[in-house]
Amino acid sequence: MSEVGVAALLVVALFLILGSGVWIGLTLSGVAWIGMQLFSSRPAGDAMAVTTWGAASSWTLTALPLFVWMGEILFRTRLSQDMFRGLAPWMQALPGRLLHVNVAGCTIFAAVSGSSAATCATIGKMSLPELQRRGYPEMMSLGSLAGAGTLGLLIPPSIIMIVYGVSADVSIAQLFIAGVIPGLLLAAIFSGWIALWALLHPQQVPPPDARLTFVQKLHESRHLIPVVLLIAAVLGSIYGGLATATEAAALGVVGALVLSAAQGSLSWATFRESLMGGTRLYCMIALILAGAAFLTLAMGYIGLPRHLAEWIATLALSKAELIVALTLFYIVLGCFLDGISMVVLTMGVIMPTVLKAGIDPLWFGIYIVIVVEMAQVTPPVGFNLFVLQGMTKRDIGTIARAAFPFFLLMAAMVVLLALFPQLVTWLPQQMRR
């Protein structure tokens, strides 16, 4: 059978098994097993055992469950609620007023979470009831939260950056540093759109709350101090060269526990729930990573990555054309797979082509994160859409329509990165000096 026929067979098998409701990690392993049994001479069982153990025992990957647990602790304690109280007074003077709390809150929480779904759920729990009570339009509230929630992937520490760094053999600390400027810029773009919308639809924006003096605003801002301290401890230890990503994640867990205990919101029940929630989420991610590692190995034995790279090379695409083609590819893929699966499933195939085209793997990592962000608000498998559906009981179509302008803003961000790659590379170069 030709390489095209093999690829078509495996893709059909992938979607048939996914469509039957089998877990994604098991689906990836199953497709890899089929490929090795039919098209390779190496025993599939032996390869699966060795690859699964190798994928699960990576020391670099230990940062992942710790960051997940840290996000769960913040999600289940009072720290997230205090953020709204600290941010709201400063947003009253901006066009769009408290809608900006979604963006600012997600930006801050993203710096201590690393998960898009956790960021969206945590900020949504505190902001959506308040925005609804004050009469803000539901579509804009949902859309700004769905879009800004994706910042959990881009602003370090980021789970998807860790996954990419492990899959593509790129420094995780460098990826974290590279994500700072694009993350803040994308947050500013989101807020800019909210302000523009508010200026075009002033009748839909409720009147401001009672005005506070500057001193009163500062007094309310004291609620932000715990979260800011945690961000400074986690990111400062990484950027200052004092800790690796794994050590900083451990520091973040300890800091989150200490702060929530000091606030009085840490109980045995919330500790247990956060630990079990983090364990469940990481086990799902680990299963996907193990299945994808086995599938990558199977693809290598079959020879599909090499043939695909050779085929793309024969097309003689420029860098820009390759980026456009990959963007469309990942947007379509995002309709069917979650972000982690997209990264680990494709890196073995895509990275040789990317490196051959002369694209910086550090820049490509940030690009991948933004494209995966777009997938978080793309139906039918958009994680942020699922989170908001569970919180609001609105249908996926309504939430997707609300999030669509922010999907376009992320597409514009991809164009900006392509035109100005220094947005990604400048800060890591400064930190190396």
In a domain, 276, yes or no: yes
- What is the structure's pLDDT at 197? 93
Residue with the larger pLDDT of the pair 116 and 312: 116
pLDDT in tens, 251-277: 888 988 998 888 888 889 989 998 998
| Stronger pLDDT, 358 or 189, i.e. the higher one | 189
Kindly state the average pLDDT of the residues 393-407.
Answer: 87
Question: What pLDDT is stored for residue 182 in this prediction?
Answer: 94
Q: Report the C-alpha gap between 44 and 21 in whole angstroms.
A: 23
Residue 408, pLDDT > 90, answer: yes
177 within some domain = yes
| Spatial contact of 23 and 280, defined as CB atoms under 8 Å apart | no
If you ran DSSP here, which 8-state letter would residue 382 be given? Answer: -
Could you tell me if residue 401 is inside a domain? yes
pLDDT at 404: 92
The residue segments making up the domain with residue 149 are: 58-432
What's the confidence (pLDDT) of residue 41? 74
Q: Give the position of tokens 């009147």.
A: 207
The type of residue at 230 is L
Query: b/e per residue, 381-402, with b = 16+ CB within 10 A?
Result: bbbbbbbbbebbebeeebbbeb
d(C-alpha 379, C-alpha 187), whole Å: 22
pLDDT (average), residues 134-140? 88
- The answer to whether 310 and 356 are in contact (CB under 8 A) is no
pLDDT tens-place string over residues 237-247: 877 778 877 88
**Long-range interactions of 244-248: CB distance < 8 A, separation 24+:** 244/63, 244/173, 245/60, 245/63, 245/157, 245/162, 245/172, 245/173, 245/176, 246/59, 246/60, 246/62, 246/63, 246/66, 248/63, 248/157
Residue 40 lies in a domain: no
pLDDT-based confidence at residue 140 (cuts at 50, 70, 90)? very high
Mean pLDDT to the nearest integer, 34-41: 80
The pLDDT value given to residue 313: 63
Classify the C-alpha dihedral 132-137-142-145 as positive or negative.
Answer: negative
Rounded to whole angstroms, the Cα distance separating 94 from 270 reads 36
In percent, the amount of the chain with pLDDT more than 90 equals 17
141-148 average pLDDT score: 91
Asked if the structure places residue 3 within a domain, the reply is no
Say what the pLDDT of residue 418 is. 92
> How far is C-alpha 52 from the chain's CA centre?
24
Whether the CB-CB separation of 117 and 159 falls below 8 Å is answered with no
Burial 119-145 (b: 16+ CB within 10 A, else e): bbbbbbebbbeebeeeebbebbbbbbb
In a domain, 7, yes or no: no
The span from the CA of 418 to the CA of 156, in Å, is 21
The alpha carbon torsion through 328, 120, 145, 116 (nearest 10 deg) reads -30
Amino acid at 378: T
Distance between CA atoms of residues 391 and 384, nearest Å: 11
Per-residue pLDDT band for 381 (boundaries 50, 70, 90) equals low
Stretch (H or E) spanning 13: helix 3-19
**Residues 6 or more apart from 169 whose CB is under 8 A from it?**
none
Confidence band for 142, pLDDT divided at 50, 70 and 90: very high
Asked if the structure places residue 321 within a domain, the reply is: yes
What confidence tier does 426 reach under pLDDT thresholds 50, 70, 90? very high
Q: How confident is the model at residue 101 (pLDDT cuts 50, 70, 90)?
A: confident
In this prediction, residues 356-365 reach a mean pLDDT of 90
What mean pLDDT do residues 102-122 have? 78
d(CA 87, CA 99): 11
Contact by Cβ (8 Å): 186, 110: no
Say what the pLDDT of residue 3 is: 61
Report how far residue 137's alpha carbon sits from residue 150's, in angstroms, rounded to the nearest whole number: 21
How confident is the prediction for the chain on average, in pLDDT?
Answer: 81
Fill in the amino acid letter for 316.
A
Q: How confident is the model at residue 336 (pLDDT cuts 50, 70, 90)?
A: low
pLDDT digits (tens, 9 = 90+) for 155-173: 887 888 988 998 888 888 8
Instruction: Read off the tokens for 104.
Output: 């600012």
Contact 427, 174 (CB under 8 A): no
For residues 24 and 58, give the distance between their C-alpha atoms in angstroms, rounded to a whole number: 21
User: Is pLDDT above 90 for 181?
Assistant: yes
Read off the pLDDT band of 414 (50, 70, 90): very high
For residue 345, give every residue at least 6 positions away whose Cβ sits within 8 Å of its Cβ, in sequence order, or none: 28, 292, 295, 296, 337
What confidence tens digit (pLDDT) does each residue in 288-302 have? 778 777 877 787 777
Is the per-residue pLDDT at 189 higher than 70? yes
Residue 18: inside a domain, yes or no?
no
pLDDT of residue 291: 79
Pick the most confident of 58-67, 68-77, 361-370: 361-370
Q: What is the tally of structural domains in the chain? A: 1
Report the pLDDT value the prediction gives residue 319, as an integer from 0 to 100: 85
State the pLDDT at residue 245.
72
The per-residue pLDDT for range 196-228, each reduced to its tens digit, is 999 998 888 887 766 777 788 788 778 778 878
Residues 189-226 as b or e (16 or more Cβ within 10 Å = b): bbbebbbebbeeeeeebeeeeeeeeeeeeeebeebbeb
Q: 371 is written with which tokens?
A: 């494209």
Res 305: pLDDT: 59
Task: Give the DSSP H/E element, type plus range, for residue 387.
Answer: helix 383-392
In this prediction, residue 338 carries a pLDDT of 66
Torsion angle of C-alpha atoms 19, 20, 21, 26, degrees rounded to 10:
-90
For tokens 């051959």, name the residue. 356
Please determine, for residue 174, whether its predicted confidence score (pLDDT) is greater than 80: yes
DSSP 242: S
